[in-house]
Amino acid sequence: MRILQVNKFHYNRGGADKYYLSLIKNLEQDGHQVAAFSMYHPKNSASLYAKYFVSRLSFNEGGLIDILKTPGRMIYSLEAKRKFKNLVKDFKPEIIHIHNIYHQISPSILDIAAKFKIPVVMHLHDYKLICPNYQLFVGGETCEACKPHKYFNCYRKQCFKGSKSKSMLATLEMFIHHRLLKIYEKNIHTFIAPSDFMKQKLVEFGWNINKIKLVINPFDAEMSVAKGEEIKQEEEYLLYFGRLGEEKGLEVLIKAAALTKTHLKFVGVGPMENKLKKLAETLKVKAEFLGFKNGPELKYIILRSRAIVIPSIWFENMSLSLLEALNLGKIVIASKIGGIPEIIKHGENGILFEPGNVNDLADKIKSLESINLISIKQRARDSVKNLSADNNLKQVEAIYQDILKNAPR
């Protein structure tokens, strides 16, 4: 099969990008011919198709030129359309699989796919298809004010980075793409959702349930316990690893730690780091902020922890941190929100608490003293054993084959 994978970043910037690069590798190893289309960046992984990539555009670090380019690139990028057309003509893909194309690439490339009659699969890694700011979260709480198609609420609530101008641009983007052009609706054959929660949320917002397939994310194979890596004596700290953002509910975790006199460790970076440090200092919580870690170093920190805490207060989709922690046989204490309860069954393979509830989280931390941790840890591993990269690949390939089998000749 000749498959064209598309994502705006071609390096490990986040979970979506990590998945996209891993999928390319796995498809190639399974005998497929795979091309990539992305944006130029000095951190990019090597690619034979880099000459087709669109020019770099930074929304956070760019200067005046990038600011002036932003509206055109977000709404309908002629550069991306032109370069994508050249790649499609040269590579001749049978199927196109897009991931995150918002802003840096734009959906202009979908018109090229339609012109050449190539079916498109879209992998949904966030809520951007239905929410201007990706998260269904603003002002410290979940938000569905734009349902259905009431995108002006994005500007009214300034939900895109707290900026009137950026929120207006995001509002305009959503209106043009979904109400005026209907470019995603017309040109995407199949959507892949990593959680049933996301699938049902899309349906609530008006998307056709028959076009949405459920394929849960795989855990990272490197995050497995190899022989000789077993930890006989855990330490007393609770661990959070991931982005340090408001939506992750980390203030709730620090407040619960203050009530339980618990030692915390945080692995990751993000905009909330300084605020979290100040809160921990004020509440006299022993909290270590270790910065970004990955690979064996991160795995060791996870294995040494007493438990992993995922205290999200947004509609967490399908957290890679959750899957990796379970695969390592760790006790996970997580918010009962979004896609998390699809994986964690309270008291069986993990512990759930009410999102945002400091006292409930504190009670669940205290419960670590009285529950059967050994049986929960074993069931934790068992609950994700089928979520391997190999099984994920088979599910994605089956979707491709079904589309091509039923595609008009």
Mean pLDDT, the chain, rounded, equals 94
More confident position, 229 or 316: 316
Whether the pLDDT of residue 64 is over 50: the answer is no
Task: Say whether both 211 and 263 belong to one domain.
Answer: no
Task: Say whether both 66 and 197 belong to one domain.
Answer: yes
CA atoms within 13 A on the CB side of 195: 22
* Non-local CB neighbours of 163 within 8 Å, separated by 6+ positions: none
Whether the pLDDT of residue 373 is over 60: the answer is yes
Rounded Cα–Cα distance for residues 179 and 199 (Å): 21
Residue type, 221: A
Give the percent of the chain with pLDDT over 90. Answer: 86
**pLDDT tens across 132-149, in order?**
999 999 999 999 999 989
Would you say residue 65 lies in a domain?
Answer: yes
| Pair of tokens at residue 76 | 């309908």
Task: Name the band, by pLDDT with cuts 50, 70 and 90, for residue 232.
Answer: confident
Whether the pLDDT of residue 399 is over 80: the answer is yes
Task: Say whether both 21 and 119 belong to one domain.
Answer: yes
Rounded Cα–Cα distance for residues 216 and 395 (Å): 9
Would you say residue 226 lies in a domain?
Answer: no
Task: Name the band, by pLDDT with cuts 50, 70 and 90, for residue 226.
Answer: confident
Task: Say whether both 209 and 265 belong to one domain.
Answer: no
What average pLDDT does this structure show over 324-343?
Answer: 96
Whether the pLDDT of residue 236 is over 60: the answer is yes
Task: Name the band, by pLDDT with cuts 50, 70 and 90, for residue 230.
Answer: confident
pTM of the model: 0.93
Whether the pLDDT of residue 268 is over 80: the answer is yes
Would you say residue 87 lies in a domain?
Answer: yes
Task: Say whether both 255 and 349 belong to one domain.
Answer: yes
Which residue in the block uniquely carries the two structure tokens 């084959």? Answer: 401
Instruction: Report yes or no: 321 and 299 within 8 Å, Cβ to Cβ.
Output: no
Predicted pLDDT at 3 = 98
**pLDDT tens across 284-293, in order?**
999 999 999 9
Would you say residue 164 lies in a domain?
Answer: no
Task: Say whether both 285 and 310 belong to one domain.
Answer: yes
Would you say residue 137 lies in a domain?
Answer: no
Rounded Cα–Cα distance for residues 345 and 50 (Å): 44
Task: Say whether both 400 and 332 belong to one domain.
Answer: no
Task: Say whether both 370 and 397 belong to one domain.
Answer: no
Whether the pLDDT of residue 67 is over 70: the answer is no
**pLDDT tens across 349-369, in order?**
999 999 999 999 999 999 999
Q: In this structure, what CATH number is given to the domain that contains residue 108?
A: 3.40.50.2000
Would you say residue 168 lies in a domain?
Answer: no
More confident position, 311 or 228: 311
- Domain region containing 245: 238-384
Would you say residue 172 lies in a domain?
Answer: no
Instruction: Report yes or no: 28 and 121 within 8 Å, Cβ to Cβ.
Output: no
Instruction: Report yes or no: 75 and 105 within 8 Å, Cβ to Cβ.
Output: no
Task: Say whether both 82 and 202 belong to one domain.
Answer: yes
**pLDDT tens across 160-209, in order?**
988 998 899 999 999 999 999 999 999 999 999 999 999 999 999 999 99
Task: Say whether both 39 and 113 belong to one domain.
Answer: yes
Task: Say whether both 109 and 202 belong to one domain.
Answer: yes
Whether the pLDDT of residue 220 is over 90: the answer is no
Would you say residue 197 lies in a domain?
Answer: yes
Top-confidence range, 226-235, 272-281, 374-383: 272-281
Give the percent of the chain with pLDDT over 70. Answer: 96
More confident position, 148 or 391: 391
What average pLDDT does this structure show over 99-115?
Answer: 96
Whether the pLDDT of residue 327 is over 90: the answer is yes
More confident position, 64 or 372: 372
Is 31 exposed, middle or buried (CB count within 10 Å of its CB: 0-12, 13-18, 19+)?
exposed
Task: Say whether both 25 and 67 belong to one domain.
Answer: yes
Task: Annotate 58-86 with DSSP letters as a single string.
Answer: -TTT--HHHHHHHHHHHH--HHHHHHHHH
CA dihedral sign of residues 306, 307, 308, 311: negative
Return the C-alpha torsion angle 188, 18, 214, 74, nearest 10.
Answer: -30
Total number of domains in the chain: 2
According to DSSP, the β-strands at 137-138 and 141-142 are: antiparallel
Predicted pLDDT at 311 = 98
Name the packing angle between helices 78-91 and 64-75 (round to 10°).
60
Task: Annotate 355-404 with DSSP letters as a single string.
Answer: TT-HHHHHHHHHGGGTS-HHHHHHHHHHHHTT--HHHHHHHHHHHHHHHH
DSSP state of 335: E
- Cα 243 to Cα 72, 227, 269, distances in angstroms: 29, 30, 6
Predicted pLDDT at 59 = 61
